[in-house]
Amino acid sequence: MNYNILIISKLNILSSKNKISYKTSGVDIALGEKLVDHIKPLAKKTFRNEVLNEIGGFSSLFDIPKKYKKPVLVSSTDGVGTKIEIAEFLDNHKTIGIDLVAMCVNDLITSGAEPLFFLDYLVTERINLKKSKDIISGIAKGCKISNCSLIGGETAEHPRNFPKNKYDLAGFSVGVIEKEKIKKIKYDNNDILIGLKSSGLHSNGFSLIRELLKRKKIKLSSKIGSKTLGKILLEPTKIYVKEIKQLSKSIDIKSMAHITGGGLLGNLERIVCDNYNFELERNKLFFYHKKLFKLLMAKASLSNEEMLRTFNCGYGMVLVIKDNELKKGTGILKKYNQSFQVIGRIKKSKDKSQIKII
C-alpha cells in the first residue's frame, strides 16, 4: 500500500512539471478577480438611480429615466488610438481612461442626447494590476464628469497573441433623447460657428506624434512653457457634457461637430449641408495652444491644410448657433469657465457647399 502511494506521488511530481493550465497558458484568473474587486466600488460611485444591478453579472440592466415620454436611444463607440503609446512611454496611465469616455460621450452629445451608461473593453497580453487599476480609475472619473454610469465591461488577456506589456481600449456609450427633439440640420445665412477650447490635442494626431518621436524630431522631456511636452500630450480630452446640456436648455444649437480624427476641417465637413458655406476666420485658427501647434507644424513640415486635417487646432467641439443667441450662450459658457471663440459664419451659396478660410 505504501509502495502504491509512493508511485502515485512520484507520478504527480513528474506530471506537475509538464502540467498545462490556464495560468501557465498566460491567463491569471485570480489576478483578474482582484481587478474586478477594485472595479466594483469605483463603478458604484458612478451609478445613477436607473442602474438596476451590480457589477459582476453576465449583462447589465438600466432603466430609461422617467422624464422621457418618447425616448430614443443613442449609441456611440470609440477608442483612444495611439495616444496609448505616449502613456506607455511615460508610464502614466491615470488619464487615458478619461480620454476613452470623452471620445464616446462627446460624440453622443452632438445629437443632443443625454449620456446614460458606459462600458469598456480592455485587452492586454497579461494583466498588470497597477496599470489596469489606473486605466479603469480614469474611466470611472470620466463617467463621473459626464454623469453616466459605468455598468460593465471586459478585461481580456491575450497571452503570446498580443504585444508584450501592451494594451488597447474601446468604449461603448448609450444615451437618450426625446424623439421630438431630434433635429434635422437647417441653417440660416449668418449663423455663427462657436469653437469650444480643447484641453490639448485630445486623442487625435498621435500617429504623427509617434513618428516625430521615432525620428527624434521632438522629445517628451522638452519644455513648452512650464510643462514638459509629454505632460501636455497626456492632458485628458475635455468632456463637454455639462456645458452642452446647459446651453441646450437656453439656446438653439443647430448642429455640433466633435473634432476628432480628420481634424477641424474633416469634422466640420460632416455638418455642412447643401447651399451653405462655412467661412472660417484664419486668425482664429490655432488660437489656443499656439506654441504646441507651432512646434508640431515646424517639426513635421506640415502645411496649414495638413494641420487642419490632422489636429483639432485648439477646438474640441464646434457649435452652430443663431447670431442673436451669442450673448446668452456667452453667459452660460463663462459660468462653466469654458473658453471659446467665434471662428466663422455660415453663408448661403448657390454653388457646391464648402469650407472656406477667409
0.85 cut: is pTM over it?
yes
Give me the domains of the chain, ranges plus CATH numbers. Answer: 29-181 (3.30.1330.10), 192-357 (3.90.650.10)
In a structure prediction context, what are the per-residue pLDDT tens digits for the chain, which is 358 residues long? 343 433 334 445 445 556 766 566 566 677 878 888 889 999 999 999 999 998 888 899 999 999 999 999 999 999 999 999 999 999 999 999 999 999 999 999 999 999 999 999 999 999 999 999 999 999 999 999 999 999 999 999 999 888 998 999 999 999 999 999 998 999 999 999 999 999 999 999 999 999 999 999 999 999 999 999 999 999 999 999 999 999 999 999 999 999 999 999 999 999 999 899 999 999 999 999 999 999 999 999 999 999 999 999 999 999 999 999 999 999 999 999 999 999 999 999 988 889 999 9
Give me 69's grid cell: 415620454
Q: Is 152 exposed, middle or buried (0-12, 13-18, 19+ CB in 10 A)?
A: buried
Q: How many whole angstroms separate alpha carbon 318 and alpha carbon 285?
A: 12
CB proximity list for 232: less than 8 A, separation 6 or greater? 200, 224, 292
Q: Rounded to the nearest 5°, which phi and psi values hold at 124?
A: -145, 165
CB proximity list for 337: less than 8 A, separation 6 or greater? none
How many Cα atoms within 13 Å fall on the side-chain side of residue 57? 8
Q: Are 167 and 124 in contact (CB under 8 A)?
A: yes
Q: How many whole angstroms separate alpha carbon 310 and alpha carbon 82?
A: 14
